[in-house]
Amino acid sequence: MVDETSIFIGASRKPDDSYQRAEALLLRYGNRHGLVTGATGTGKTVSLQILAEGFSNAGVPVFCADIKGDLSGISMMGEAKDFLVKRAGEVKLDPYQFQEFPVIFWDLFGEQGHPIRATISEMGPLLLSRLMNLTEAQEGVMNIAFRIADEEGLLLLDLKDLQALLANIAERADELSARYGNVTKPSVGAIQRTLLVLEQQGAANFFGEPALRVADLMRTTRDGRGAISVLAADKLMMNPRLYATFLLWLMSELFEELPEVGDLDRPKLVFFFDEAHLLFEDAPKVLIDRVEQVVRLIRSKGVGVYFVTQNPLDIPEKVLAQLGNRVQHALRAYTPREQQAVRTAAETFRPNPDFDCATAITQLATGEALVSMLEDKGVPAMVQRTLIRPPSSRLGPITPDERRKIIAESPVAGQYDQAVDRESAFEILRKKTKEAQEAEAQAKQQNSGGSRWTIPGFDDVLGTGNRRSSNRQTVAEAAIKSVVRSVGSSVGRAIVRGILGSLARGR
């Protein structure tokens, strides 16, 4: 049953605990998503590691977050430690071979991997609002800000672009309210303050260019293995909202950029979403709906999404229902909520007459799990008590030196390491303000010197006391128009991207 069309996961056990048979994930159902759950220390990360290894060996690129740094070992050759060799014997993994995997390290903060950046416009108003935890009114203003940027051809790349735009909007609040609806100074001010907090948390590194190219996550090596992109997430986890928003953005980018492919013999990319509960914690319903939608639709793009979390109750039911391949490690059942989680987890499996699912979940050993993968016709297999195979790569973290070496030798070395700051909203608005100020100064000068020489019918040119303000407007307007021209009309419509961004606009 285990061959090049599947990934070996481990061996299921008979009721007397003896070997039953090999358990495997069928690659052709790899895009039907999956779920790895279990309490702390029960083996989730190792399960993720062996799945990532399997996908890579099958030529499937993998993206995963490394919350504790212990997944980084996947980039190094494993070692024949006694307990690993013993486990290999128990699951009849013979020969047990060691391997290092082609890893690309990424880090939103650019410290433990290549920097990952996205532009503000790619992120879109919905995700930004979620990232900044905005109220509904503030989110409305954010939507308007994106519309204005769009209409006035202002590129939103980094945080200073958004800050400059908001400052501009605050100045024009009355005019804009008349055009788009309520744009109050307090709500703009509130967004500006939240932006400052975001900046203090280090998000400034993340917004800007060069933005991540999805193609760089889809690499394969010359010997046909899929690259494993490992996102350093230990520091990122201190800002869970940024973490969740980022991964959501990435998913929507993948969705946006990849073509429809229908059923394939293996996925095009597999995406592991560790600490997945962060995605849904106090998320507004609209966002949960979008996630559900992206997860449902991304399948036909050949992308498999695997959620990793402690408790299956962390995942909304509609999303849970789409996760076909399940690995359930042990759960504790002390509190009523824990007991509820055990029951829910047990009920989602196709029962096995050999054992009681709920009881088994509380008794599983470390590195043991209830496993049910999709089998023929995409139907979930009967649940099996399964010992998970040991990894071929190193168990545990790598050293900083090892990491540096891999980063230096990576196929994207040099591509993302330097930020680029091209002309965008911040620079344009600054220039515009300067031009407006100069024009005003000039008009003042002309006024003071020339008012005595006013020629009837030429008020507009020379300006008078009560004409001056409208004259200034004209100059500012002219500046905006010239900016629109110089940025080019192609930017106009395409400024807001991403399924989450574009759907939000349709609301």
Ligand X SMILES: Nc1ncnc2c1ncn2[C@@H]1O[C@H](COP(=O)(O)OP(=O)(O)OP(=O)(O)O)[C@@H](O)[C@H]1O
Interface with ligand X (CB under 6 A) = 38, 40-46, 68, 70, 84, 87, 366-367, 388, 390, 395
CB of 196 to Mg ion, least distance (A): 34
Token reading at 270: 């597999």
78 and 394 Cβ atoms separated by less than 8 Å: yes
117 binding partner (options ligand X, Mg ion, none; Cβ < 5 to 8 Å by kind):
none
User: Helices 159-171 and 185-200: crossing angle, nearest 10°?
Assistant: 160
Regarding 45 and contact with Mg ion (CB under 5 A), the answer is: yes
In the DSSP assignment, the letter for residue 75 is: G
Q: If contact means CB under 5 to 8 A according to the sort of partner, which of Mg ion, ligand X, none does residue 84 touch?
A: ligand X
Torsion of CA 223, 226, 232, 234, to 10 degrees: -120
The order of strands in the sheet holding 228-232 is 19-26, 6-13, 384-388, 368-372, 325-328, 34-37, 303-309, 269-273, 62-66, 228-232, 103-107, 114-115
Q: What residues between 397 and 426 interact with Mg ion by CB under 5 A?
A: none
Measured CA to CA, the distance from residue 157 to residue 421 in angstroms comes to 9
Secondary structure tally for the chain: helices H, strands E: 19, 14
d(CA 327, CA 384): 10
Residue 40 interacting partner from ligand X, Mg ion, none (CB closer than 5 to 8 Å by kind)? ligand X
Shortest distance, CB of residue 46 to Mg ion, whole angstroms? Answer: 8
Closest distance of CB 314 from ligand X, Å: 13
Position of minimal CB gap to Mg ion = 45
Cα end-to-end distance, the chain, whole Å: 48
Q: For 326-467, where are the alpha helices, taking DSSP H only?
A: 336-347, 357-363, 400-408, 425-450, 459-462
- Tell me the closest approach of the beta carbon of residue 120 to ligand X, in angstroms: 33
41 binds, among ligand X, Mg ion, none (CB under 5 to 8 A by kind): ligand X
The partner in contact with residue 38, picked from ligand X, Mg ion, none with C-beta cut-offs of 5 to 8 angstroms by kind, is ligand X
Identify which of residues 277 and 431 has a Cβ nearer to ligand X in the complex: 277
Residue 199, CA distances (Å) to 82, 126, 146, 162, 295 in order: 48, 19, 19, 12, 30
Interface segment toward Mg ion; rule CB under 5 A; list 39-47, 103-111, 254-262, 460-468 = 39-47
Q: Which residues contact 6 (CB under 8 A, 6 or more apart)?
A: 24, 25, 26, 27
42 binds, among Mg ion, ligand X, none (CB under 5 to 8 A by kind): ligand X
CA angle 92, 349, 358 (to 5 degrees): 90
Q: Which is nearer to ligand X, 367 or 498 (CB)?
A: 367
Stretch that binds Mg ion, among 43-51, 121-129, 382-390, 443-451 (CB under 5 A): 43-51
Q: Among all residues, whose Cβ is closest to ligand X?
A: 367
Residue (330 or 496) nearer to ligand X, CB: 330
Q: Locate 384 and state its tokens.
A: 């099996």
User: Which token pair is 118?
Assistant: 């996205």
The site partner of 429 among ligand X, Mg ion, none (C-beta below 5 to 8 Å per kind) is none
Cis amide bond preceding 95, omega within 30: yes
CB of 289 to ligand X, least distance (A): 29
Phi, psi of 32, rounded to the nearest 5 degrees: -90, 15
The least CB distance from residue 356 to ligand X, in Å, is 23
Looking at residue 45, the DSSP 8-state letter turns out to be: H
Taking CB under 5 A as the binding criterion, the range among 45-53, 278-286, 403-411, 473-481 that sits at the site for Mg ion is 45-53
Q: Which of 362, 326, 356 is nearest to 342 (CA)?
A: 362
Min dist CB 417 to ligand X, Å, is 30
Nearer residue to Mg ion within complex by CB, 45 or 424? 45
Number of residues that bind Mg ion (CB under 5 A): 1
Judged by beta carbon distances under 5 to 8 A according to partner kind, the member of ligand X, Mg ion, none in contact with residue 302 is none
DSSP secondary structure code for residue 108 in this structure: T
Q: Parallel, antiparallel, or unpaired: how do β-strands 34-37 and 19-26 relate?
A: unpaired
- Shortest spacing between CB 364 and ligand X, in angstroms: 11
Considering the complex, state which of residue 238 and residue 441 has its C-beta at the smaller distance from ligand X.
Answer: 238
Interaction between residue 37 and Mg ion (CB under 5 A): no
The option from Mg ion, ligand X, none interacting with 87 (CB < 5 to 8 A, set by class) reads ligand X
Cβ proximity to ligand X: between 92 and 467 the closer is 92
The answer to the question of residue 311 lying near Mg ion (CB under 5 A) is: no
Of 38 and 113, the one with the shorter C-beta distance to ligand X is 38
Shortest Å distance, C-beta 350 to ligand X: 23
Q: 361 is written with which tokens?
A: 């979940």
Which stretch in 38-46, 56-64, 120-128, 167-175 sits in contact with Mg ion by CB under 5 A?
Answer: 38-46
Nearer to Mg ion (CB atom), residue 309 or residue 384: 309
The nearer residue to ligand X, 42 or 245, going by C-beta atoms, is 42
Q: Which residue has the tokens 């070997």?
A: 19
Q: How far is the CB of 42 from Mg ion (least distance, A)?
A: 9
Nearer Cβ to Mg ion (397/492): 397
Q: Is the peptide bond before 267 cis (omega within 30 degrees of 0)?
A: no
| Nearer of residues 176 and 395 to Mg ion, judged by Cβ | 395
d(CA 274, CA 143): 30
Which positions touch Mg ion (CB under 5 A)? 45
